[in-house]
Structure 1
Amino acid sequence: MSIALFLLYLFLPDPTTALPQPSPTALTPRIVKVAPTPATVAYQRPPQKLPTYRVTATVYMADPRQTDDEPFITADNSRILPNQTRKRRWAAISRDLLKRWGGPFDYGDSVQVTGISPKLDGVYVIHDTMNRRHKHCFDVLVGKNEAHLADMWRNVRLTPVPKRTAPEPVWSAG
């Protein structure tokens, strides 16, 4: 017999004898406090800091004297309804701010405008292009009944409104 087996037989109880079982009355349930599990937090992307552009803002009307010979058709081929100009917030932007000429915006982009007036500040959709002589300008479409708002504002802030994107699909094997 090896020394290891000898030590095992010496220190361990005999496997043929049964261990004494505790009586059922000696067993009492004990209260165990369970610490609350922390709520699982889904990973959220931190809000991105959107760039702000400072421009000069003016107003324009769908009038052949202020536009081209087809005032109710914009540069992206959208059609302006003559009586709907004050209900829709459409805008024209100078060419240097459009993507096709190296700028950050494209037709159909929404921008948050602040710094004009409480009545005209808000979210506008870019549908039109200004004349090429204008640089860093933003033109707000207004109706004929809002002609009294015609003015020029400097240092107006344009902030792009992020497009709503669909959530990324969750792929699973199956």
Structure 2
Amino acid sequence: MSSVRLFLDILLAASAFTAPLFSSSPADNSTKATGLVKFISPLEVSRPAERRVVKSKTKVKKSKTYVTKSLTYRVTATIYEAVPGQTDSEPFITADNSRIKPHYGTKQRWMALSRDLLKPWGGEFEYGDTVRVTGINAQLDGVYTIHDTMNKRHRHCMDILAHTSENLDIFTKGVKIQKVTYQ
């Protein structure tokens, strides 16, 4: 009987060395011992649960503030529509390559500035800047985004994008614009 016992011990040792040393399955409490661990300790071995780091998602609310070094400019405000007579040959593509959607209007709050106010020509404003506009009327005053450039013959002017169905015709001098940032 001792030869049978010796044979079983050798067989058990051989199977322990051929099995993987450690399990590659995720650790949980129901994992059974395999390989060398099973050979050394035939009892089930449980690993401690892995620790998970949970990052909390907190939203930081951005508030509108005026740039302290930003100047207030007085400009002439007008309205333009995305039609070939008032723009170039591609009226639905702005100077910063934004596309004007078919159902656009003044609620979209897009504007064009004259070249003397834009950075490529020595001004303070860039495409994508948000600008506080005051002095037109209660309906059109507010925050606009710069997406377009006016013809080079205009100086100290801004154009508000409006739809032809809105029937707006505005020419207002002395409108105040100031750059707005979010902090």
> TM-score scaled to structure 1, two decimals?
0.64
Specify the alignment match of 2:169 in structure 1.
150
2:107 is paired with a residue of what secondary structure? coil
Aligned pairs (5 A) from 1:12-91: 48=68, 50-91=70-111
Aligned pairs (5 A) from 1:129-140: 129-140=149-160
Separation of aligned partners in 2, 1:86 and 1:159: 19
CA-based RMSD of the aligned residues comes to: 1.3
Specify the alignment match of 1:128 in structure 2.
148
1:161 is paired with a residue of what secondary structure? strand
Does the aligned pair in 1 maintain the 2:111–2:160 contact within 8 Å? Answer: yes
2:129 matched to 1:109? yes
Separation of aligned partners in 1, 2:152 and 2:113: 10
| Aligned-pair CA distance for 1:85 | 2.4
Does the aligned pair in 1 maintain the 2:106–2:160 contact within 8 Å? Answer: no
2:116 is paired with a residue of what secondary structure? helix
1:80 is paired with a residue of what secondary structure? coil
Does the aligned pair in 1 maintain the 2:104–2:162 contact within 8 Å? Answer: no
Separation of aligned partners in 2, 1:109 and 1:157: 15
Q: Is the helix fraction higher in 1 or 2?
A: 2
| Aligned-pair CA distance for 1:51 | 1.6
* Unaligned runs of at least 5 residues, structure 2: 1-66
1:119 is paired with a residue of what secondary structure? coil
2:99 is paired with a residue of what secondary structure? coil
Separation of aligned partners in 2, 1:58 and 1:86: 12
Separation of aligned partners in 2, 1:113 and 1:87: 14
Separation of aligned partners in 1, 2:89 and 2:70: 37
Separation of aligned partners in 1, 2:77 and 2:170: 8
**Which stretches of structure 1, 4 residues or more, deviate above 3 A after TM superposition?**
none
Separation of aligned partners in 1, 2:172 and 2:149: 18
> Identity of aligned pairs, percent?
59
Specify the alignment match of 1:23 in structure 2.
none
Separation of aligned partners in 1, 2:74 and 2:150: 17
Alignment length (residue pairs): 117
| Aligned-pair CA distance for 1:49 | 5.8
